[in-house]
Amino acid sequence: NRKTAAPLQSGIELHLQDEVALIRLSRPAKRNALNDGLILALRETFQNLPPGVRAAVIHGEGEHFCAGLDLSELQERDAGQGMQHSRMWHAALDGVERGPVPVVAALHGAVVGGGLELASACHIRVADESTFFALPEGTRGIFVGGGGSVRISKLIGVARMTDMMLTGRVYSASEGERAGLAQYLVPTGGALERALALARQIATNAPLTNYALMHALPRIAEQPADHGYFTEALISGMAQAAPEAKERVRAFLQGKAAKVQKK
């Protein structure tokens, strides 16, 4: 468990556990609210993950995963600056979603506003029972700006997201899991452990398969079906041709690889 220097400024910590990068939001006194420094540090962290990292976990220190945008920095921006600020978030969260490795979010406590936008940029979300999800932007007189209108509406549908923003509705952990905000629900205190176990599992996949899942699947989902089938065929051909795929398939055929187990 190696700890590397915090990039840019404190607010993010990076620990390495073998092939898994553990990224911690560490501004617990402000409930890990995301100020500009933290967003830039997040971007830098994903741009500079050490070689050899094959999966990442992101989690929050203290009682909550993340309280969203640091509202104290909102005061004096004009419209143009607000747009640029949103674009900065887009760049940073795009670096999470379309970065080098799959990212598992370990969620607890508040996952609200920009915190939910960050979680939705991750590939897998594990929520513990203490988690609650909300988009208070609507009641604060603002709008999502970290890609949430695209990503969150894809996860749960436009109608649910509209309701969350119009009414300030808070989803409990189990409601969130049922709606699609998280793929896993675990007992309170268990999210990080489960997220790390999933990340370690992901790290054993062929890197090209992981890359294809992160980069091809969301693009195929946005393509017309005919284009999607064609992109799928290209990626499928590439993945099969990789020596690692051949090795893994041979191992199965020789009875040396795990079977799929009934649950």
Catalytic residues: 117, 137
* Contact assessment for residue 39 and residue 8, using Cβ atoms and an 8 Å cutoff: no
Locate 177 and state its tokens: 């899991």
* Contact assessment for residue 114 and residue 68, using Cβ atoms and an 8 Å cutoff: yes
| Position 75 contacts ligand 1HE (CB under 6 A) | no
Binding pattern to ligand 1HE, positions 103-142, x when CB under 6 A? -------x-xxx---------------------xx--x-x
| Position 95 contacts ligand 1HE (CB under 6 A) | no
Amino acid at 170: V
Choice between 22 and 110, CB closer to ligand 1HE: 110
- Minimum Å gap between C-beta 6 and ligand 1HE is 20
Of 28-36, 218-226, 243-251, 253-261, the window that binds ligand 1HE (rule: CB under 6 A) is 28-36
Of 30-38, 97-105, 186-194, 228-236, the window that binds ligand 1HE (rule: CB under 6 A) is 30-38
- Minimum Å gap between C-beta 84 and ligand 1HE is 12
| Position 60 contacts ligand 1HE (CB under 6 A) | no
| Position 99 contacts ligand 1HE (CB under 6 A) | no
| Position 13 contacts ligand 1HE (CB under 6 A) | no
SS3 annotation, 6-50: CCCCCCEEEEEECCEEEEEECCHHHCCCECHHHHHHHHHHHHCCC
Strand pairing class (2-4; 12-17): antiparallel
CA dist 128 and 174 (Å) reads 9
Q: What is the CA radius of gyration of the chain?
A: 19
157: left (phi over 0), alpha (psi -120 to 50) or beta: left
Residue with tokens 């400024």: 9
Rule CB under 6 A: choose which of 7, 20, 31, 122 binds ligand 1HE: 31
CA–chain centroid gap for 183, Å, is: 12
Binding pattern to ligand 1HE, positions 146-185, x when CB under 6 A? x---------------------------------------
170: helix, strand or coil: coil
CA dist 51 and 59 (Å) reads 21
Rule CB under 6 A: choose which of 14, 57, 70, 102 binds ligand 1HE: 70
- How many helical (H) and strand (E) elements, i.e. helices and strands, does the chain have? 12, 10
Rule CB under 6 A: choose which of 4, 6, 30, 209 binds ligand 1HE: 30
Locate 7 and state its tokens: 């990039």
- Minimum Å gap between C-beta 176 and ligand 1HE is 15
| Position 27 contacts ligand 1HE (CB under 6 A) | no
Where do contacts with ligand 1HE occur on this chain (CB under 6 A)? 30-31, 33, 63-64, 67-72, 89, 110, 112-114, 136-137, 140, 142, 144-146
